[in-house]
Amino acid sequence: MIRFPELLSIFMEYISDHGISLIGHILKYAGIPICIASFLGSIPASPLNKPSIITLAQFPIDDHIWLLSGIAFFTFLGLTLAISTASAFTLHCLLHGERPGDGMLRETIQSSFVNVCIVGFLLALTSIIGIIVCVAPGIYIMSAGTVMIPLLLHEHRSPLQAMQSGIQLIRNHALKPFAFSLFVFIVASICITAIEYVMDFAISPLHVQLGRLSFMVIACLRMLGIGMIFAFGTILYIEITRNKALSHGDALIN
């Protein structure tokens, strides 16, 4: 039986060895799209003295359809690259005992990009439907999503096969990714609150520029948090498959 404290211990050991490199690669591949999305999200609505489009309570969508489309596109692109990078990097480090080269990592991300996009879209859609219908199915599907990307990368499953296998694989382990997600959410919330607290004391002439910069930093922190969740899911995938292999070996011996 895989216990959450053991998984958390493996994750912390992994982060201590490869955390800086992992963060660097996530920012390298996913940082630009997320920064573009956050920049678009901080563009003030017309006229310029009104709040940004993100904080504006009511605005005509027709007047901002292209801006909203740009925000959605670059956000989805950044998140897709973040989870793909985190999963591929973690998978290679733990299976081969070394960090992947830039060329190898780039090739893995490029070759699986379309499938990861399809899984990400289907995962988001089914999670939303699951949460609307009942909270528990949505949480289960989101937890299963953390092991679907390794199934795509390592076992070369199709998107639908990865979703089906991920849902089966996460059985009896659904609360582990959810608990880790709560942990990441708490840590990220503390960091974001600290950044917003510092921004409250920003010099007035620089407030707008610093506010936009802090918005980008906060978006990158959230992206890194999601990347860490999928890195944890990759570790969970490896431990589940190893335990299954050991159990199967014991069964053959017996």
Q: State the pLDDT at residue 46.
A: 45
d(CA 232, CA 219): 20
Asked if pLDDT for residue 184 goes beyond 60, the answer is yes
Q: Annotate 160-179 with three-state secondary structure.
A: HHHHHHHHHHCCCCCHHHHH
Range of the domain at 30: 4-112+173-253
The answer to the question of residue 127 being in a domain is no
Average pLDDT, the chain: 81
Closest residue by Cα to residue 88 from 113, 111, 105, 110: 105
Q: Is residue 123 part of a domain?
A: no
The answer to the question of residue 73 being in a domain is yes
Task: Round to whole Å and give the CA distance between 122 and 142.
Answer: 11
- The residue that leads in pLDDT, 121 or 214, is 121
Residue 65 falls within a domain, yes or no?
yes
27 domain-assigned: yes
Lowest mean pLDDT among 67-76, 149-158, 208-217: 208-217
Give the angle subtended at the CA of 147 by the CAs of 141 and 153, to the nearest 5°: 130
Q: What is the pLDDT of residue 49?
A: 45
Note the pTM of the prediction, 2 decimals: 0.84
41 SS3 class: helix
| pLDDT exceeds cutoff 80 at 203 | no
Confirm whether 142 is domain-assigned.
Answer: no
Determine, yes or no, domain membership for 75.
yes
Label residue 101 exposed, middle or buried (CB < 10 Å: 0-12, 13-18, 19+). exposed
Mean pLDDT for the stretch of residues 208-237 = 85
| Residue 140 domain flag | no
Q: Which tokens in the block code for residue 245?
A: 């292999």
Q: Decide if pLDDT at 21 tops 90.
A: yes
Number of structural domains (the chain) is 1
Query: What is the pLDDT at residue 48?
Result: 41
CB 221 within 8 A of CB 189: no
Does residue 207 carry a pLDDT above 70?
no
* pLDDT at residue 50 tops 60: no
Residues of the chain above pLDDT 90, percent: 25
